[in-house]
Amino acid sequence: MSEILVIGHRNPDTDAICSAIGYAEFKRRTGMTEAIAARCGDLNDRIDFVLNTFGVPAPKFVADVSPKISDVMQRRILSVRPDSTAADALRLMDEKNLRILPVMDDAQKCLGLLSLFKLSKFLFPAVNRNPSHAHGSREILSSLNSLAQTLNGQLLVGIEAEREEELILMIGAMGLESFASRLDKFPPEKCCVIVGDRWDIQNIAIREGVRVLVVTGGLSVDPKTIEAAQKKNVSVISSPHDSATTASLCRAAVAVRHVLNEEFLCFRENAPLAAVREEATASGYLVFPVLDGEGQMIGILSKTDFLKTVTRKLILVDHNELSQAVQGADEVEIIEIIDHHRLGSMATQQPILFRNEPVGSTSTIVADCFFRSSVELPRQIAGLLLAGVVSDTLNLTSPTTTTRDAEILKKLEEIAQVNARTFTEKLFASGSLLTLKPAPQAVATDCKEYAENGVKFSVAQIEEIGFEQFWKRKDELLAALEDYRAKRAYLFSTLLVTDVATQSSLLLVVGDEKFIKRIDHPRLEPGIYELRDVVSRKKQLLPYLTHCLREKEKGVKG
C-alpha cells in the first residue's frame, strides 16, 4: 500500500493535532496526494472543541505504523464453497495457476485449505495389492447431482439425486457374462456402471438394480431403457465424454469439504509482519488465511508476501525523538520532520527535509509553509493553525513566543475571521483535565518521554485557569504520577500544572530522591514545588530538569 502519514507525537496536544492536519493539507495542495493526517493518541476536550469549532474531522487514528500483514496480504480471495466439487476447485486452480485454495462458508469463515497435492492423492489413489480391497481405488463419494454436474452431463432419471453417498465405479467394457459375474461381487445399490451403447450391459445393470447407470459418448438412451430404469429406481446420467474420461472425472465429483486440510495457520490482519515472520517461515504451510476482528477471512498471505516492500512513509510534526513517536516509526521511512523542539538523537537512512525553527508552535511553521509557497490556505485550516499557535504560546504570552509567531497569528486571524484573544479564553475554558478526568488519565494526557545520558524520564503538562482543582486533587495526582513512573521504570516523572491566567506553575515530582534534592525552587509540600513565571515545558522546564540531572550525576549541589 502507498500512504504518507503526517503525524504528531504520542499523547498529542492541540498543536500536534492542528499542525498534522494543516501540514497534510499543505502537502496535498503541493502535489503529495497520498498525505494523510494521523494521530497516535487520544484526543482531549480542548482538541475536540477546536475541531468542532472549525468543522474539521479528527485525524486518522494509527496506534502502530510498523509493517502489518494487512500491508502485504492478497486482498482478492479466490475460494470455493464446502459443497463445491473437486472438479470445480481443480478448474479454478488450473485457470489461476494456484496450488492452494481456501474453502469458505457463507459467513466468510475459512473452513480449511484445499491443496493440489492432497487433491491429486485423492483423485489418483494407489491401487491396493490386496484383492479383497482392490475396489478401493474405484470408490467415489458424491451425490448424483454433483456427478452429473462434474461430467457436464444430463440427469435423465434422478432418484434421491441430492443424497450424498459412496459409490463403486464399474466400467461395462467386457462380455455380458463377465460383467454379470463381476456385478455379483458388489452391492448393486452402491454400483455406478459406466457403459457406452452396450444395450445388453445397460439392461442387466438395470435389472440388477444398480444405483446409477452412466451412458457415455453423448449417445442417446432408448426410451424403453429410461422406462425400465424408472421402474427399478435406477438413476441414469448421460455423459458427453468417452468411458475412460467419464470414469476419471467421477472421482472429482466429491465435495471439497471431504478433502480439505482442516488444520491451518492463520493470522490477524493487524499482526506485525516481524512478529509472525518466524512462525510462518518455520511452518510447513505455504499460505495463511488472514482474519479480521470478527474472524472473517479478508485476505490470504503467502510466504513470498514477506518479501514485499511496505511503502508507508511518515512525516513527523511537533517532535523529532523516536521515544515520542508513534510505535513502529523506526521500522518505516521518515521523509520529513517539522518541529520546534530541541534536537533528539534520531538517525535516518537517507537525507530528509528537516525544518526545525525556534518558534513557539509547530503550527506557526506550517502556516508559514502556506504563505511562503503562496498556497491557498482554507479558512478552516487557518482556524486550526491559529488554535495550535495560541495553545502552545498561551496566546503569545509564553516565553517561547517569537515575533514570527505574532506575525503569523495576525495573518491567521484575518483568514480564519477569528479573534485570537476571545478564542483563547474559550479554548482554555473548554475542558479542564483536573475537573473532567481521572488522575491516571490527567497525568498521562499530555506527557512526553525523554532520554538524557542513558536515563529516561517523563514530563507532563496540564494547563488550567487557577489552581483550585489542583489543590483538591493533589494527593491522587501524586499517586497517579508515581504509578505512571513505576510502570515505565523512569528515573523520575514530573507534572507541570500551569495557570494560564497568572503565567505561573506548580511542579509535581516523583522518583529518584537524589534527583529531587537538586530541585531548588520553593517547595510547598513534599513533591510539590512553586515555579513562578514558568509556563513552557520546552524552553523553561526541560532545560532545568536536564541541568538538575547533570548536577545529580556530578554529585554536587546545583
Give 253-283 as a DSSP string: GSBGGGTSB-----EETTSBHHHHHHHHHHS
Q: Which residues contact 386 (CB under 8 A, 6 or more apart)?
A: 363, 409, 412, 413, 416, 418, 420, 423
Q: Are residues 132 and 241 in the same domain?
A: yes
Based on its alpha-carbon atoms, the radius of gyration of the chain, rounded to whole angstroms, reads 37
Q: Which residues contact 534 (CB under 8 A, 6 or more apart)?
A: 496, 498, 504, 505, 507, 540, 541
- Specify the DSSP class assigned to residue 356: E
Q: What integer pLDDT is reported at residue 557 of this predicted model?
A: 44
DSSP string for 380-442: HHHHHHHHHHHHHHTTTTSTT--HHHHHHHHHHHHHHT--HHHHHHHHHHS--HHHHS-HHHH
How far is 506 from 499, CA to CA, in rounded Å? 8
Residue 228 CB-density burial (10 A; 0-12 exposed, 13-18 middle, 19+ buried): middle
Q: Are residues 439 and 544 in the same domain?
A: yes
Check which CATH number belongs to the domain holding 196 and give it: 3.40.1390.20
Q: Are residues 271 and 380 in the same domain?
A: no
- Would you call 98 helix, strand, or coil by DSSP? coil
Q: What integer pLDDT is reported at residue 558 of this predicted model?
A: 40
CB half-sphere exposure, 12, CA atoms < 13 A: 36
Q: What integer pLDDT is reported at residue 55 of this predicted model?
A: 97
Q: Are residues 285 and 344 in the same domain?
A: no
Check which CATH number belongs to the domain holding 453 and give it: 3.10.310.20
At 413, list the grid cell. Answer: 486571524
Q: Are residues 97 and 172 in the same domain?
A: no
Q: Are residues 223 and 132 in the same domain?
A: yes
* H-only helix segments in 124-235: 144-150, 176-183, 199-207, 223-231
Q: Percent helix, strand, coil in the chain (nearest 5)?
A: 40, 25, 35
At 433, list the grid cell. Answer: 483535565
Q: Are residues 450 and 535 in the same domain?
A: yes
Domain boundary residue, one of 245, 275, 307:
307
Note down the domain range covering 87: 71-119+265-307
pLDDT one digit per residue (tens) for the chain, 558 residues? 478 999 999 989 999 999 999 999 999 999 999 999 999 999 988 999 999 999 999 999 999 999 899 989 999 999 999 999 999 999 999 999 989 999 999 999 999 999 888 888 777 766 555 544 444 568 889 999 999 999 999 999 999 999 999 999 999 988 888 899 889 899 999 999 999 989 999 999 999 999 999 999 998 899 999 999 999 999 999 999 999 999 989 989 999 998 888 889 999 998 989 889 989 988 888 899 999 988 899 999 998 898 888 888 999 999 999 989 999 999 899 999 999 998 887 888 889 999 999 999 999 999 999 999 999 999 999 999 999 999 999 999 988 999 999 999 999 999 999 999 999 989 988 878 888 889 999 999 889 999 988 899 999 999 988 899 999 999 999 999 999 999 999 999 999 999 988 889 999 999 999 999 999 999 999 999 999 999 999 889 999 999 999 988 877 544
Q: What integer pLDDT is reported at residue 61 of this predicted model?
A: 96
Q: What integer pLDDT is reported at residue 146 of this predicted model?
A: 95
Q: In the sheet where 139-142 sits, what is the strand order?
A: 139-142, 165-171, 191-195, 212-215, 235-238, 154-157
Check which CATH number belongs to the domain holding 334 and give it: 3.90.1640.10
CB half-sphere exposure, 545, CA atoms < 13 A: 33
Length of the chain: 558
Domain boundary residue, one of 384, 413, 429:
429
Q: Are residues 132 and 253 in the same domain?
A: yes
DSSP string for 220-241: ---HHHHHHHHHTT-EEEE-SS
Q: Are residues 481 and 442 in the same domain?
A: yes
How far is 289 from 180, CA to CA, in rounded Å? 51
Domain boundary residue, one of 257, 290, 319:
257
Q: Look at the chain and report how many structural domains it folds into.
A: 4
- Specify the DSSP class assigned to residue 184: T
Q: Are residues 382 and 408 in the same domain?
A: yes
- Specify the DSSP class assigned to residue 472: H
Check which CATH number belongs to the domain holding 105 and give it: 3.10.580.10
Q: Are residues 420 and 437 in the same domain?
A: no
Q: What integer pLDDT is reported at residue 418 of this predicted model?
A: 96
How far is 428 from 22, CA to CA, in rounded Å? 21
Q: Are residues 196 and 135 in the same domain?
A: yes
Phi, psi of 7 (to 5 degrees): -140, 140
Whole-prediction pTM = 0.65
Residue 388 CB-density burial (10 A; 0-12 exposed, 13-18 middle, 19+ buried): buried
Q: What integer pLDDT is reported at residue 127 of this predicted model?
A: 59
